[in-house]
Structure 1
Amino acid sequence: MTPALIACSHGTSSPAGRAAISAIVDRVREMLPATDVTEAFVDVQQPEIDAVVQRMPVGAPAIVVPLLLSTGFHTRVDIARAVAAARGPALAAPALGPHPLLAELLVKRLTEAGLGEGDAVVLAAAGSSDPAASVDVTAMAQLLADRLAGERIAAPVTVGFAAGAGIRIADAVTAARAAGARRVIAASYVLAPGHFADVIARGGADAATAPLAPDDAVAAVVVDRFRRASAELAG
């Protein structure tokens, strides 16, 4: 029996943010036409992840794919709690990042922003108090740096956070300029428009890229996470 896919995002009050996430879920439905795909949220929006998991038929398998870029409180606590209480076989997939497809998408966004010789990149993430989130973002920064090098784009990549632990975006931008960057471009490592995208835009960089969603690459990562978790659930 094919597991259901529960796409669990944070939730946002931003209409543009809601539209971007819904567009990703709709694209996943198109890519997995034989799979029941349902949206769920950990905050702000309804339905909550616990309620969605509990509505699953008894014995029906389910995979929760976090529409979140890094490991953190919501993956370790909210989603883990919901999966543990499932009435059938259930598994939580890892957060979407780090992932090579996201690195490709970030390069695309940076190219659109005019990244050139002498520029530096700050991978600008939302941030978290969970150290695992910083580990994931650092790994994503390395994937991005490797991808840029493969494209023969000589741009150093550092990391900045809008909140939580770690260096703030504005400080990372200042450090990149002090290191001699001609321009500093903030690579927005957030899924959708909203509060953190606004913080990144105000972070002092010469330019900031658009959020990752909606883009088929994000939907492809969701599908990849689902398929891998489904294989694991099947044993």
Structure 2
Amino acid sequence: MFAQLAGWACAIVLARAGWLPPGIWALAGTQALCATVAAAAMRSARWWLFIHAAFAPLLIIAGRADIAPAWYLAAFALLLVVYWTSFRTQVPLYLSNHATIGALAALLPVGRSVRVLDLGSGTGSLLRGLARLRPDSHFDGVEAAPAPWLLSRLLARAAGRISVRRGDFFAESWASYDVVYAFLSPVPMARVWSKAAQELAPGALVVSNSFPIPGRKPDEVVAVGDRRATRLYVYRVTDGRASK
């Protein structure tokens, strides 16, 4: 928001000073450039720079397209039920692929039933894949966004031994789980480890897809071998509630 406001302030000042050629596109282009520079100065993520550069021009294009307002409301509603509070948690919707499911299944303890918790389980694709590979075990997921949660609930009916709840996974107890899987973002990983270390039993695993826990050396790093070069960072809880 600050970057966009700074971009508009810069563009308006330059326009009023007569330093910009007439026309809306000169104003929008200057705003886009200034907003992108402001975002870069604030060390925003690289992908945000593209959003800031395209935001004002897309506003003008949308305004001239004469699209009925109801379509914008429908698009907003769709994004809301899919992504929900991603703006607060800074955890987007990531889906684990088949290669990752196989690699995670290979990490599960053998010879006994295990309980696995998927933090932010999305559409439940990981849970269903693990349930097929390990029908002796139980798999739980916690998802906040309504649309992915509802879809995962519907698809899990035929899979068996899967439970999907809607809510905040940090508000849940993790004490009964042998493995906690996370495909989140760098932002919550320190908090994930803090909760895991407090609640999980000794020997339990925390497996993070792509995002290592800051300040901790993983016990194992698994290269999945898929096209996106996925890595699973594996951490073993040593003494449960005392390990941080």
TM-score for both structures, normalised by structure 2: 0.37
Whose RCO is larger (CA < 8 A, sep 6+)? 1
Whose radius of gyration is greater, 1 or 2? 2
